[in-house]
Structure 1
Amino acid sequence: MADQGGDERGKANIGVLRAMLGFLRPYRAQVLGASVALVCTAAITLSIGQGLRMLVDSGFASGATEDALNQALLLFMGMVVLLAFGTFIRFYLVSWIGERVSADLRKAVFAHVVTLHPGFFENQLSGDIQSRITTDTSLLQTVIGSSVSIALRNALMFFGGLIWLFITNPKLTGVVLLSVPLVIGPILIFGRRVRSLSRSSQDKIASVGSFVGEAVKNIKLVQAFNHQQADRATFDRHAETAFDVAIVRIRQRAWLTTIVIVLVLGAVTGMLWVGGHDVLAGRISAGELTAFIFYAVMVAASVGAISEVYGDLQRAAGAAERLLELLAAENRILPPAQPVLLAQPVRGEIAFDAVDFAYASRPEVLAIKQFTLNVPAGSSLALVGSSGAGKSTMIDLLLRFYDVSGGAIRFDDVDIRDLDPAELRQYIAMVPQQPVLFTGTVADNIRYGRADASDEDIEAAAKAAYAHEFIERLPEGYQSFVGEGGVRLSGGQRQRIAIARALLADPRLLLLDEATSALDAESEYQVQKALERLMQGRTSIVIAHRLATVINVDRIAVLDHGELVACGRHSELLSQSPLYARWASLQFDEANHQASVADERPLSGAAQ
């Protein structure tokens, strides 16, 4: 089992390394330049030890001349200048590579995430995805732009220092090498633990971010239910859990650093004892001992630095794994190898042919059962039914957010699975029941329907949606900031902007999910007229919760537990479908009752 775990870790390491090399490949020139600067600075640093030997033996020894001292100092200063210049080049290029790879990785992950099918996000927290794209890539940027460079530089210094130690004094080198296995062992043992804990720590931090995002996004609901104290306690638990995991990781790194320092400096102390006695006995010169001490300290410092950044490298490996999981996530809704092109002009005819569908989370339960229905081009269809009847699922299937489990959906006689999803969706516009606005201006949100729309097109769409008047009253008109999710606008205003967005898209198929539900009576009347004009000549499918809004559509489809139980006009369904007649009786009788109560209120008030 242990061997199997080691093999899996090795495969994971190779996978992470291969992926990172893939992101580095486009920047070979910068990597080469940084590598050359790295080798040069390491070589210059190692040469300083020989400069010190010359300085001690030639400049400070008895009988040394002033010219010899000056020459030694000039040589030493020249090496320092070269080292500083090389360090500048190395630092700049390595930092540039770190920032560039981090940006590329963010773009690659986001580009992949936004193409994934909606079903993927049913099992993923949005806060966790945000954490991976932001926090984890920032960690990788720090490691690639700093820690990797430090690790490589100190690895060169370690091996170069060992070589110079052998050249300078093989006997003393043997004393130093005794500590090497003792140092490498703890690095490998503790490093594996740090990597595992780093992955866990990043997951816990992502959970904290997800909770914060939900609380802030729904702050009105939190405060309306006086849930601040309970949410504060929950957040405290999340934060403390993340802290506890981080402390365990930090403790492991602290022990690693402590052990390395004791072992390495202990070896240096032993070397000084042996070397000091050799100098006193005349077996080596003071300059040789100085150079040897320099290289020994350099080797020790290199091992210490590597042990420090090894934890960072393991954290980066954990972050890379989390990012690669997103990049490797499979998109279940893909265009076919050779997509069919729709015949022009696109008509917008829809055909449901014995459609079955079950969600992946509940594969044994069919959400849609043997649904068969044709929607001629230019006609309107309303889907009505109780909650859970499958109305919204039909919209999702039309947009090919999911693929049917059985049967087929055809758009202009073409199975939508044979179409590129992007081409299919460019002929469809949707107005959801809960309008979605993005952070930005009013104009930005309307232009979402058609990216190349002019300001005049946007204003025309807003007028058609009866949104122009209230937009003009905003502080900056169409350039007014709507806030996150449109928080600065009322529900009715957000709905009309969503309708304007759909109008701007000028679709062949219009999907309306009770698009007037958030409007007051006057606005609903105006927008209903706009929608009636919009629906003319276009295929329209309307999800209706209030039957009064769909009395005039061409046909009404009655759904019950995913099955089509009746279809026809309002007047026909009243006599043909007991279920529809019952809903109509409940809704219209209640509406008439409320209207009569409203009419009587002034009279009763006057009587009093």
Structure 2
Amino acid sequence: MNKTTGSPPQAARIRLRSYMRPHLAVAVAAPLLMLLEVAMDLLQPRLMARILDEGIIGGDTSSIWTVGGWMLLAALVGLAGGIGCTVFSTLASQRFGADLREGLYRRTMRLSPELLGRFGTGSLVTRLTGDVSQLQQTTLVALRMLARSLFIALGSLVMCIALSPRLSLVLIVTVPALAVLLVWLKRTTVPLFASVQQALDEVNTRLQESLANMRVVKAFVRAPHEEARFGAANDGYRASSLAAARIGALSQPLLSLLLGFTTAAALWYGGALAGSDSIQPGQLAAYLTYLSQLLLSLNGLGNHLLTLSRATASAGRIREVLGAKDEAGSGSHADAERKRKEAPEVDPNVARDAAADAALQQGDAPLDDPSGMPESARAAAREAPYLEWSAVGYRYPGSDEYALRGFSLSIRRGESIGIVGMNGSGKSTLALLTAGLLQPTEGSIRLLGKPLGGWDPEELRSKVGLVLQQAHLFSGSIADNIRYGRPDAPESDMLEAAGSAFAAGFVGAMPEGYGTRLGQKGVNLSGGQRQRLSIARTLLLKPELLLLDDSTSAVDAATETAITESIERMGESCTLLLVSQKLASLRRCDRIVVLDEGRLAAVGTQEQLLASSPLYRELHESQKGAEPA
């Protein structure tokens, strides 16, 4: 089960309350209207007492009609207040829930890959749906039912004391005992409901894993195994829910016993006071009505406390996500935005190597467009490091072993670099670090002389394109998927990107062409087709730095070569990092990097590596028969 450690920062608590702030006027109107309804309800027993004492016992028939009219008017006013409270409390809770859900989704989109893995997909889905719905429902209950119970309890207590201070002595025992019970209930149920939500996370995780990997489950005939895993998670959820339900079930008899004792004591003592003419019959009837309202509202407060306990657990889980660090690893999103605004603006085009800076001053043209520079300046710009790794190391959370360590290398603009190594040598880790999706545990990566962590995420994404081995497509049309990073891209650019990725052929053969609708994750396409669409999607961004992480593994050798050649024709405008298990795919690269157990083992051309690197020669010999003639 995925868990996070540590308590959420105070900023996250303020942020959670801030989602209600835009709807504060509507939220305040709801309990105020409920107060009006409660005031009218509290007025009814006093008016009824007048009818009994003055009209029936006193024989004043006219007072019956007069006071009865007031009772009817109070009932109508109370009805209007109740309807208004329902409308405003519903508006406030729905708007609060919608804003919180949207804000939580935005925060989830900015979480670093480490935190995404730590929270887990199932847990994040539960927090976005179940936990937010719990807070939304609790807001509705708090603004309406909880406010009503609280107002009636306070109002009935005041009316009881006003009617008969002596009879109200029976409450001296009830109120402290009830306070102790409610405090115990609060402290006991909050941790229990937190465990219930965590158990629900596990159920969702098991369900999503099974559905996402259904083909694997069927291929290995592991349905019984997955059913057992889901059953264990479901049993854990049931056990946690029952543990919380037992406390709720125990609280009701205790509350009923306490309230029943109070009612019996009030009837006994009130009868004695009425017998000695210390209280009028109508007053006693009104007192018993107020007492009944008081006890029922206190019972309702106990029930609402269980709802609040569950909401407290859900609020803590939501704060964990809202207070988590963003993808740049610089704290919460609000802190990152504040630091970015306070920091002086730096043009990344002038944050270069000293040689490139000197070259830049020889001409007025920017370094990204050296056409207007003198030849010496252009030469210096070409030789300046475009991308640098300095003693980069990375260790995945929860692991004691480094996936990458001590990696240092620099490449020039327009260079094509191949990356090869055994399984687990750190190739994909290097690609993810270079794309800025992971933050180095040690060392630094600099693009155009500027650390990756110092780039604005959107600006970095516009410069660095990444295509993963696992092609991730979305439900929608093929055109929508290719335009995912540039929704406003013209059709000509989309067709060019599809052509460069050699996807135009199979797309054009489909009846609806680029309007063909894809199922979830592109299930109606082959693996190679999905990879080519993923490459086209990235090429449409026209990135300066293109990372291909074994993204042509499902494509045949001829198509792979054609795609690589198409990318190479982009020239100096694109720097290429090509991760591949197949050495034949790297033959056209300017240099090849060999990784071994997370370390840089060798770097050079294919001829140089064959002469100097035993590991590369071993890989070459093992694949010699697989290379195309």
Is the pair's TM-score, using the shorter chain for normalization, greater than 0.5? yes
Counterpart residue identity of residue 39, structure 1: L
**1:440 pairs with 2:476:** yes
| Pairwise CA distance, 1:261 | 1.3
2:24 aligned partner: 28
Query: What CA distance in whole angstroms lies between the structure 2 residues aligned with 1:555 and 1:533?
Result: 17
Give the TM-score, by structure 2 length.
0.86
| Pairwise CA distance, 1:369 | 3.9
The partner residue of 1:248 within 243, 250, 256 is 243
2:624 aligned partner: 588
Query: What CA distance in whole angstroms lies between the structure 1 residues aligned with 2:583 and 2:345?
Result: 39
Counterpart residue identity of residue 414, structure 1: K
Partner of 1:170, secondary structure, is coil
| Pairwise CA distance, 1:497 | 0.8
> Where do residues 110-125 of structure 1 align in structure 2 (5 Å cutoff)?
110-125=105-120
Query: What CA distance in whole angstroms lies between the structure 1 residues aligned with 2:148 and 2:329?
Result: 46
Question: Cα–Cα, structure 1 residues 269 and 405, in superposed 2: closer, same or farther, change >3 Å?
Answer: closer
1:63 aligned partner: 59
1:268 aligned partner: 263
2:595 aligned partner: 559
2:127 aligned partner: 132
Q: Which deviations, in whole Å up to 9, do the C-alpha atoms of 1:490-537 show, x marking residues without a partner?
A: 111111110110121111111112222112456445534433434664
Partner of 2:476, secondary structure, is coil
| Pairwise CA distance, 1:196 | 1.3
> Where do residues 199-210 of structure 1 align in structure 2 (5 Å cutoff)?
199-210=194-205
2:417 aligned partner: 381
Asked if structure 1 preserves the Cα contact closer than 8 Å seen for 2:8 and 2:319, the reply is no
| Pairwise CA distance, 1:175 | 2.1
Question: Cα–Cα, structure 1 residues 230 and 371, in superposed 2: closer, same or farther, change >3 Å?
Answer: closer
The partner residue of 1:44 within 27, 40, 53 is 40
> Where do residues 81-96 of structure 1 align in structure 2 (5 Å cutoff)?
81-96=76-91
Query: What CA distance in whole angstroms lies between the structure 2 residues aligned with 1:14 and 1:184?
Result: 28
1:150 aligned partner: 145
> Where do residues 397-476 of structure 1 align in structure 2 (5 Å cutoff)?
397-474=433-510, 476=512
2:375 aligned partner: none
Query: What CA distance in whole angstroms lies between the structure 1 residues aligned with 2:13 and 2:33?
Result: 23
Partner of 1:429, secondary structure, is strand
2:348 aligned partner: 342
Question: Cα–Cα, structure 1 residues 257 and 20, in superposed 2: closer, same or farther, change >3 Å?
Answer: farther
| Pairwise CA distance, 1:110 | 2.4
Query: What CA distance in whole angstroms lies between the structure 1 residues aligned with 2:367 and 2:149?
Result: 67
Query: What CA distance in whole angstroms lies between the structure 2 residues aligned with 1:50 and 1:474?
Result: 79
The partner residue of 2:614 within 578, 581, 585 is 578
Mark the runs of 5 or more structure 1 residues left unpaired by the alignment: 1-10, 596-608
1:191 aligned partner: 186
| Pairwise CA distance, 1:563 | 2.9
Counterpart residue identity of residue 530, structure 1: S
Partner of 1:558, secondary structure, is strand
Query: What CA distance in whole angstroms lies between the structure 1 residues aligned with 2:386 and 2:461?
Result: 13
Query: What CA distance in whole angstroms lies between the structure 2 residues aligned with 1:330 and 1:519?
Result: 37
The partner residue of 1:216 within 211, 216, 224 is 211
Query: What CA distance in whole angstroms lies between the structure 2 residues aligned with 1:559 and 1:400?
Result: 20
1:598 aligned partner: none
Q: Which deviations, in whole Å up to 9, do the C-alpha atoms of 1:51-106 show, x marking residues without a partner?
A: 221232344335232x4333222211111111111111112212222222222222
Give the TM-score, by structure 1 length.
0.89
Question: Cα–Cα, structure 1 residues 272 and 17, in superposed 2: closer, same or farther, change >3 Å?
Answer: farther
> Where do residues 245-324 of structure 1 align in structure 2 (5 Å cutoff)?
245-279=240-274, 282-324=277-319
> Where do residues 161-172 of structure 1 align in structure 2 (5 Å cutoff)?
161-172=156-167
| Pairwise CA distance, 1:255 | 1.2
Query: What CA distance in whole angstroms lies between the structure 2 residues aligned with 1:13 and 1:185?
Result: 30
Percent of paired sites with the same residue: 29
Counterpart residue identity of residue 139, structure 1: Q
Query: What CA distance in whole angstroms lies between the structure 2 residues aligned with 1:86 and 1:215?
Result: 50
| Pairwise CA distance, 1:194 | 1.0
Query: What CA distance in whole angstroms lies between the structure 1 residues aligned with 2:210 and 2:41?
Result: 53
Q: Which deviations, in whole Å up to 9, do the C-alpha atoms of 1:556-594 show, x marking residues without a partner?
A: 1222223333322223322232322221121023457xx
- How many residues were matched structurally? 583
Query: Which stretch shows the higher mean deviation, 177-186 or 491-500?
Result: 177-186
Asked if structure 1 preserves the Cα contact closer than 8 Å seen for 2:406 and 2:599, the reply is yes
Question: Cα–Cα, structure 1 residues 477 and 30, in superposed 2: closer, same or farther, change >3 Å?
Answer: same
1:547 aligned partner: 583
1:502 aligned partner: 538
Question: Cα–Cα, structure 1 residues 283 and 411, in superposed 2: closer, same or farther, change >3 Å?
Answer: closer
Query: What CA distance in whole angstroms lies between the structure 2 residues aligned with 1:15 and 1:181?
Result: 35
Partner of 1:32, secondary structure, is helix
**1:175 pairs with 2:170:** yes
Asked if structure 2 preserves the Cα contact closer than 8 Å seen for 1:46 and 1:161, the reply is yes
| Pairwise CA distance, 1:35 | 3.1
Query: What CA distance in whole angstroms lies between the structure 2 residues aligned with 1:568 and 1:14?
Result: 52
| Pairwise CA distance, 1:339 | 5.7
Query: What CA distance in whole angstroms lies between the structure 2 residues aligned with 1:122 and 1:165?
Result: 57
